[in-house]
Amino acid sequence: MSDGCTWALDWLPFVGDMTPHCIEHDRACHYGGGREEFEVANRKLEADIRSLDGWAAGICATIRYQFVSSWLGWRLFNQLGPGLPENSPQGARYSGAEHPLG
């Protein structure tokens, strides 16, 4: 479901390791949903990268956010998916007794 930071380096000097954040973003894109879930996933990725210790984390977060929020990011997002399960750390909604994708 994830390859780390798709089409980008997982680690950068003065930023650090972004792999866990990229994997979480890939998970959100896999479960998909509508525009709201798309925006939540992208903003969470931006905030997570921005929170890293490196001085260049803010710059990298802005660039990554712009890329994942583009028309290509929307095309790669699972627009027909149910969204993340309720207990997801990203807080996206799913109203169902059991998530169909496990």
55 lies in some domain:
yes
Give long-range contacts, CB 8 A cutoff, 24+ apart: 59-68: 60/12, 60/15, 60/18, 64/5, 64/8, 64/18, 67/8, 68/25, 68/41, 68/42
Residue 53 is assigned to a structural domain of this protein: yes
Residue 38 predicted with pLDDT over 90 = yes
For 25, the domain range is 16-76
| Position 71 in a domain | yes
Q: Domain for residue 50, yes or no?
A: yes
Average pLDDT, integer, range 30-57 = 95
Mean pLDDT calculated for residue range 8-13: 91
- 97: pLDDT strictly greater than 70: no
State the pLDDT at residue 3: 87
Number of domains in the chain: 1
